[in-house]
Amino acid sequence: MKVGDLVVFSKAHHTRPGLDYTQSWLGLLVKIVMHEGYPHEYHILWGHGLTAYPSKWINRLSYKPFEVYSGSR
């Protein structure tokens, strides 16, 4: 993933109990903070329905929570 990519939550994420509502979310990856050569934080502007909001994800999950929907423009 790179800045500018459109991302969605991965199947590994939205199929977990209580997270099914994230299946239709679409986000714009606006920043990646690296730590010791690895992605540590993902800053994503999410859109779903009529709502949009920024979020910061710290990479502490045992699976990949996002996948690229469409490459950078």
What distance lies between CA 68 and its chain's CA centroid? 9
Beta-bridged to residue 45, according to DSSP, are 28, 54
Q: What is the pLDDT of residue 73?
A: 42
pLDDT tens, the chain, 73 aa long: 899 999 999 999 999 999 998 888 999 999 999 999 988 899 999 988 777 777 887 777 888 888 999 654 4
Q: What is the pLDDT of residue 71?
A: 54
Integer Cα distance of 73 and 69 in angstroms:
12
Q: Tokens 């690296």, residue?
A: 34
Integer Cα distance of 48 and 54 in angstroms:
12
Integer Cα distance of 24 and 73 in angstroms:
21
Q: What is the pLDDT of residue 72?
A: 46
What token pair was written down for 53?
């909001």
Q: What is the pLDDT of residue 38?
A: 86
Q: What is the pLDDT of residue 44?
A: 93
